Chain A
Amino acid sequence: MSQSANVIEMKDIVKTFGEVVASNHVNFEVKKGEIHALLGENGAGKSTIMSMLSGIYRADSGDIYINGKLSRIRSPKESMELGIGMVHQNFRLVDTLTAVENIILGEKSNKWRGSSWMKKKIEEIEELADKYGLTFPTKVPIWQLSVGEQQRVEIVKTLYRGAEIIIFDEPTSVLTPGEVEQLFLTMQELKRNGKTMIITTHKLKEVMTIADQISVMRKGTMIAQMSKEEATIQSLANLMVGQNMADEGFSIKVIEKGKPILDVQNLVVRTKLRINAIDRINFSVHEYEIVGVAGVAGNGQKELAEVLTGLMQLYSGQIVFNNEKLTAPSVQQLIDKGIAHIPENRMKSGLAGSLGIIDNLMMKTYRSNARAKFGLMKKKENMEWAANLIKKFDVRTPDMVSPVAQLSGGNQQKLLFAREIDINPKLMIAVHPTQGLDVGAAKAVHEMLVQLRDSGSGVLLISEDLEEVMQLSDKILVLYNGKINGVIDRGQANREVIGQLMAGLNYKEGAFYEPEIVV
């Protein structure tokens, strides 16, 4: 055991989910009274580490020391007993109960819970909340509270249960800028009272604002720990996205782009929480062009893809597709107009895992007369058509009827591409098309995208894999906070520049400057 000042010490933690190593021999230390930021992209393994501290997962191997004592955290309850509280990204609150009822939920007490008892509890909780400047209505149901207020309830809940260490999982992702500011003031207040805090995030600016100590994770590995004084936004951005990997020798010839196929003007997309997920962006995609969209997850990529495929409607601005203004189009209309879509998670939203090859291939074209006549599916023709498609796209499958969930990830993705390319798309929207694929399958996907471009389609490639975006794109848009934070042409792209644009740094006249920081 090392210094006693470490309230949390995780040693050599390994956790695997099936084949995926979510946490690869991770060491993680947190000192008492500090605000420790755990930084990393989505899927870097931050949440896994935090879930082990809060008793949701158990490590396959490795030790956790809390306050210098070897501890086995087997359940959220045990974690709570050790003084660890977690403020989840998606709040764990009962919508129909009041804040106070939520906070005392699960508390063991034999006492008669009359109105005087309740009154005492309300006073007790209000006092606790006041101490840290956390205000929220205590007597109305949770669903009537704003997101910021709900988060404050979560914080008070952990404090009420005696938390000395509070974990904030992506706390700012749901908040408005004003609420973020307030949260940071609260965190500083908690720090003054001797609480230790861990905040997981991928927002560098926030890390530099609030954290004392910073740990960076990438792909399940802890790659750096440093104090804020040692860190700069640039260095953190580079650590987070990683260095250039060896080039896989994939070459792409530059071709002349054609006429514009998609033109987006002043587009605003609002989420249900009335946050502008896409905030006044302008860009266009041409024929014979691949436009890459880079950015850390959660900066508007999902909403951009959804609005362009009809799954979400725009709030303001306009989308012009093929010289035609689109107003509130349905998914089907966009398919008919020639927009293909490779969704983010192929098994979740692209394919029907329990159905066979033919049913999955028909998803976009089953309405056409080639597939059905008088409402009757043409069984024989469809079978031949599907057989041709899987041959053309080299999908390896035992037969045409066994569930596609049994295919390998690469073959599933080829199947998805076969379906989408078969509609002869004018525009292809590919979201994380190589996620979870091995090198060979990823290469096949890249080749399909380039072929599509060379045959005259426009491609909008939304990806977190910078390598992929840089290799394939003729033009790269960097999304940050729903805005386009930079446009880079092929050839001028390098990892460092993109990484810093992704981190929210502005780039003007050849130099980066830091935008002013809140608080």
Chain B
Amino acid sequence: MSQKSSFEPLPVELKQDNKKLGNVPFRLEYDAHKKGGSWWVPIISIIVALMICAVFILFNGMNPITVYGKMLAGAFGSSFGISETIVKAIPLLLCGLGVAIAYKIAIWNIGAEGQFILGAIGATAVTIFLPNLPGALYIPVMMVVGFAAGAIWGLCTAIPRTYFQVNELISSLMLNYIALLLLDYLVYGPWRDPQGFNFPGTQEFTPYQLLASLGGTRLHFGLIFALAAVILFAFFLAKTRWGYELRLLGANPVAAKNAGINITKHILIVMMISGGLAGFAGAIEVSGVAGRLMYGISPGYGYTAIIVAWLAKLNPWGMIITSVFIGSLIVGGYSVQTIGLPSSFSNMLQGAILFCLIGGEMLSKFKLKKVD
């Protein structure tokens, strides 16, 4: 950390421009210290994103209100819809917590996808290599190994970052592809179920290796894990000495260094937790939803989690809401297929939301000032 990142953005001379806006007696002033936007920025971004996407719906000759209504009904209109939405929200929430903790100290981990896959692989490895474990031990061991596998994948980003100043954005992204190809290799190769009719997946898990479902729905015990993770996350960051160190490191690394905080150690630990949470989500996904490791185990949860984290402004409690919201977009996306829109419409909406959100954060740092 002693050297500045080679990817530091170019200095923008925003403060210099004290020019009037035409003949209006106001000027825009950029204030880097302004507490960037409050709760209304995410809400406005979502509204703006919905409006942008409405234009595309209109181009398709449909009524946006009908389409959005359909999505809402698909996600929340039935008990099946609600449970599906929450099933999607669980991995999003865990991965969101994972990336959020890294973002708190300005480490831009975008490798949750790969860490998620590694977690899924780790949990599955337990079922394959330890076939004779006592039944009750399976779930705890699978969860721990899943977490550890994600954490190691996180370290693969953190170690080059701290010791050789390798930009973590690039390394974490690249590791996603390695993880994805490793998954493909395993499910098409050595781990493929011989009785699986050539389906790229492992053997189905035994009942001991599956997470208990809640109330007979597709909802599973992972929900409890995810909510527990939220509570722990909030507690550690707000109440503990370690949380204080992270807060300081995120707010001003130079001052943190002056206060004697070991930045290297913190980056390593945080990236282990960040990767670990995503890995945990992967382990939950294989044992709670898929019941086996298979091709395409993640439909991009690790990337979508970035939106979940930013929409909630990295607040763990807020991420409960945003993960359910993004989960509902995914599930709602399935239901718009029935009226002729592609399901990728939901991806477009997610992208538009992130775009508006980042723009909104930036714009909210401007102040309109009266010219004296």
Contacts and interface: CB of A to CB of B under 8 A. Distances in A.
Interface of A: 17-18, 57, 309-311, 330-335, 341, 343, 348-355, 359, 362-364, 366-367, 371-372, 375-377, 379, 403, 405-406
B264 interface: no
B258 A406 contact: no
A371 B241 CA distance: 9
B338 interface: no
B313 to A, nearest CB: 13
Contacts of A354: 33, 35, 251-252
Contacts of B240: 372, 375-377
Given A311-B257, A332-B260, A377-B244, A353 B251 contact: yes
Contacts of A310: 260
Contacts of A372: 240-241
A354 B33 CA distance: 7
Given A364-B259, A406-B33, A18 B15 contact: yes
A376 B255 contact: no
A375 B241 contact: yes
Interface residues of B, number: 22
Interface in B245-261: 245, 247-248, 251-252, 254-260
B248 A377 contact: no
Nearest to A367: B241
A355 B248 contact: yes
Contacts of B239: 376-377, 379
B248 A359 contact: yes
Contacts of B217: none
B34 to A, nearest CB: 9
Interface string B1-38: 00000000000000110000000000000000101000
B247 to A, nearest CB: 6
Nearest to A331: B260
A375 B242 CA distance: 7
Given A17-B16, A355-B251, A406-B33, A341 B258 contact: yes
A343 B244 CA distance: 21
A359 B33 contact: no
Contacts of A363: 248, 255-256, 258-259
Contacts of A330: 260
Interface in B322-360: none
Contacts of B259: 331, 335, 363-364, 366
Contact of B258 (A331, A333, A359, A405): A331
A57 B255 contact: no
A341 B248 CA distance: 17
Given A348-B254, A354-B33, A403-B35, A335 B242 contact: no
Q: Taking each of B35, B254, B256, B259, which has the highest tally of chain A beta carbons within 10 Å of its own beta carbon?
A: B259
26 contacts: A17-B15, A17-B16, A18-B15, A330-B260, A331-B257, A331-B258, A331-B259, A335-B260, A349-B255, A349-B257, A354-B33, A354-B252, A355-B248, A359-B248, A359-B251, A363-B248, A363-B258, A363-B259, A364-B260, A366-B244, A366-B245, A372-B241, A375-B240, A376-B239, A377-B239, A379-B239
Contact of A353 (B33, B257, B258): B33
A17 B15 CA distance: 8
A353 B242 contact: no
A309 B258 contact: yes
Interface in B86-108: none
Interface of B is mostly: helix
B248 A311 contact: no
Given A349-B254, A352-B251, A362 B260 contact: no
Given A350-B258, A354-B33, A377 B241 contact: yes
Contacts of B255: 349-352, 363
A376 B258 contact: no
Contacts of A375: 240-242
A359 B251 CA distance: 10
B265 to A, nearest CB: 12
Contacts of B33: 353-354, 403, 405-406
Contacts of A331: 257-260
Given A351-B255, A375-B242, A376-B241, 8 more contacts: A331-B260, A335-B260, A348-B254, A354-B251, A354-B252, A363-B248, A366-B245, A379-B239
A379 B238 CA distance: 10
B347 to A, nearest CB: 33
Contacts of A351: 252, 255
Contacts of A17: 15-16
Q: Which of B35, B256, B258 has the most CB of A within 10 A?
A: B258
Contacts of B252: 348-349, 351-355
A396 B245 CA distance: 26
Contacts of B245: 366
Contact of B244 (A333, A335, A353, A359): A359
A311 to B, nearest CB: 7
A18 B259 CA distance: 30
A455 B48 CA distance: 61
Interface string B228-248: 000000000001111111011
Contacts of A366: 241, 244-245, 259
A331 B257 CA distance: 8
A45 to B, nearest CB: 16
Contacts of A333: 260
Contacts of B248: 352, 355, 359, 363
B252 to A, nearest CB: 4
Contacts of B251: 352-355, 359
Contacts of A335: 259-260
- Nearest first, the 5 A-B pairs at minimum CB distance are A332-B260, A352-B251, A405-B33, A331-B260, A352-B252
A160 B98 CA distance: 52
A326 B257 CA distance: 19
A50 B261 CA distance: 39
B26 to A, nearest CB: 17
A355 B244 CA distance: 11
Interface string B135-148: 00000000000000
Nearest to A18: B15
A359 B247 contact: yes
A406 B251 CA distance: 15
B335 to A, nearest CB: 42
Interface in B272-324: none
B42 to A, nearest CB: 19
Contacts of B16: 17, 57
A17 B16 CA distance: 7
A484 to B, nearest CB: 25
Contacts of B243: 377
B254 A362 contact: no
Contacts of A334: 260
B9 to A, nearest CB: 17
A330 B258 CA distance: 10
A359 B260 CA distance: 15
